[in-house]
Amino acid sequence: MAQRTDLYTILLSYASKRHAPSIDIDNFILFIEKYANHYVRERPEWQKWTSDAAAKFWAELTPLVESGKCKLIGSGPGGKVLMLDFYFEAVNKAYENPDALAELPFPDEKTLGISIPAEQLRELNVATDLDEYMEYPQESDMPLLKIVFSESLGSALVLASYIPRRILEISVLKTSAFLKIEHNAEYFFVRLTSQFAGKEPLLRNILAQIELKPKECFAHIETAGEFACLFWPLFCSLIRMELKKKSEFTALDISVLQSTFIIEFFVSYYRSIMGRKRDLELAMKEIELRIERPPYAYSLKDIMKFSDATGRPLTDFYSQKDLDGFLNEKTQAEGNSDPGKRLPPLLIFHNRFNEQVFISKAKVFPLITKLIGEARPQVQKAIRNRWGKLIKEFESEPSMENEKDFEKLAALYAHQVAPSLMMLLEDKKLFLVQEEASASQGGVLNYKIYQATGALVPLSELLTLNRKDILTDVRIMLPFWYSIPVISSIVAFFKRLGQDKNKKRKAAPQEQENQDREIPSAHSTSLAQEMKRAAVDYQIQALPMGKTLDQQLRDMEDHWRKVIDSEAKKQLVRDVHSQIKRKLKPILDARGNRKITSQTIDEMADSVIMVSPALTELNNSDKIHNYVALYIVNLLKQQQ
């Protein structure tokens, strides 16, 4: 078999034979040329080094230095090459044949004939440091690890990559060699029988496995098998007790004693790992079950407050990383081709505080049913109260007469009394949940939230609100004359006539009085109610379905505040609000007690913009008008 004759391999071999990482360049060049000429007939691969060795040495050394494999110390006479991987290669080579190590102690500096600098060595005591090391293992093989054993049993030089599997396999090989050479497997079986009464076949099997198939033992230790976790600590302890009786240890004795400490530690380590793993699995299972229970929607903070049956917080059994991994797994689509199983088992929605909430896919419809049941009486009560006040004043509004305006009124109150429900209904994932549920149930659902086109089923239908029934209920609760059209029309006519006369009579003194008022302040309780009513009417007509007033105002701000800096954007909005308030005051004062309607609000918005040059300079005049009108609505709704 041809030898490797690249410079790096030759340098490592040369350093290894001299047990030192530093190589004198001049001596090395003389050596390599002499060696090549001597063995070239037997080994033709050395031909390139038979002549002009110095030039070839420097040509190959340059890339080695640049790649960090070695370091050049002086390039003139007396220059040296430092092999940076020397100690790594020395230790790695010592473990090339694990079977050869079975009867010998672990390699250390003395047996390898090297002295490792302190900066390239990390010392770990097998009894006190190894446990902490396993929690935060070293990611690279340098520095080298020196495992120190107790009871004057020396130390073991290992690479970080050998821990845990390779060092544990070698330790089991050492116990196997001990049983084979000493022929004492039967002796240990007898000594351990009392500890494993009723489990003698298992005891005999594991001793035979250690002796004949030691490499298979690792799997039982790694998985923390029940019998393995009982057997190994007792077996290792018994070996130490027997060998302590000797006055002098052989190499085999030291070898197996070292292995008992390694095996004992890793049996305990893997048992702890499996115990934590079981606790973690139980904690995640408990979280999964709890999310399935009412109230069905849980934020991350809610989940982290879960506890077990004994009241112990589940956070004792998992880390933040564990929880994040679990939630990420449960909220990822499974990629299933079955149309009935395309969504993940856990869905993410947002609550009214814009926090993420986790809802089990199977509990989305039960949650919506619960929220609808809670919202329906509140929305119905709000509409009844509103209409009752209007009818008592012999007034009406469009929502009493047509379904479109009634739908807007229902949405307005639903956003106020059931924001969580509306956030769910407006999330498009709900449509996918319905489609998947429909596919899994053969297209048969108890009820549907979305139509086939993807549009939301009318809110009045979801809340089972009937406009005519509510109006009838309101009228039934009032004296009969409110329900007689002729009487109510006559009373309404004379009431309006009286209001007009009062307005004219009070207009002059009221106008002077209003000079000292601050906007937006109402003139009387009845006028404040009128302002609020007009504002709500305008809001119902102007807002898109499913939008609140604040949401619409925020959305509209982006159409005209073309400023990049976020702080400048906020300041611009504050300036616009201040401008509207200042200009609205004299406009409202001039109106006196005249009735305010939806049309009046549009007129006031035009007037505010007309007397405000700063507003007319903003882009998108139509958007500015709509924004000013809605902000006036917001101010009027605040009247006391």
Q: Would the pLDDT of 466 be above 90?
A: yes
What percentage of the chain carries pLDDT values higher than 70?
Answer: 84
* Residue 407, CA distances (Å) to 12, 291, 338, 460, 635 in order: 85, 33, 37, 6, 24
80 to 35, 50, 68, 70, 118: CA distances (angstroms): 20, 22, 15, 10, 21
- For residue 209, CA distances in Å to 167, 173, 185, 525 come to 19, 11, 11, 94
pLDDT digits (tens, 9 = 90+) for 259-297: 999 999 999 999 999 999 999 999 999 999 999 999 999
Q: pLDDT by residue (tens digit) across 562-580?
A: 555 667 677 777 778 887 8
What are the residue ranges spanned by the domains of the chain? 7-84, 95-273, 292-483, 512-636
Q: Which of 51-60, 481-490, 528-537 has the highest mean pLDDT?
A: 51-60
Q: What is the pLDDT of residues 120-135, one digit of tens each?
A: 899 999 989 999 999 8
Question: What is the model's pTM?
Answer: 0.60
pLDDT of residue 95: 92
Mean pLDDT over each residue of the chain, to the nearest integer: 83
Compute the average pLDDT of residues 400-406. 91
Mean pLDDT is highest, among 68-77, 354-363, 620-629, for 354-363
pLDDT at position 522 is 41
**pLDDT value for 316:** 92
Assign residue 74 a region (left: φ > 0; alpha: ψ between -120 and 50; beta: otherwise). Answer: left
Band (pLDDT 50/70/90 cuts) for residue 526 is: low
Tell whether the model's pLDDT for residue 480 goes beyond 70: no
User: Which tens digits make up the pLDDT trace of 302-338?
Assistant: 999 999 989 999 999 999 999 999 999 999 876 555 5
pLDDT digits (tens, 9 = 90+) for 33-46: 999 898 888 888 88
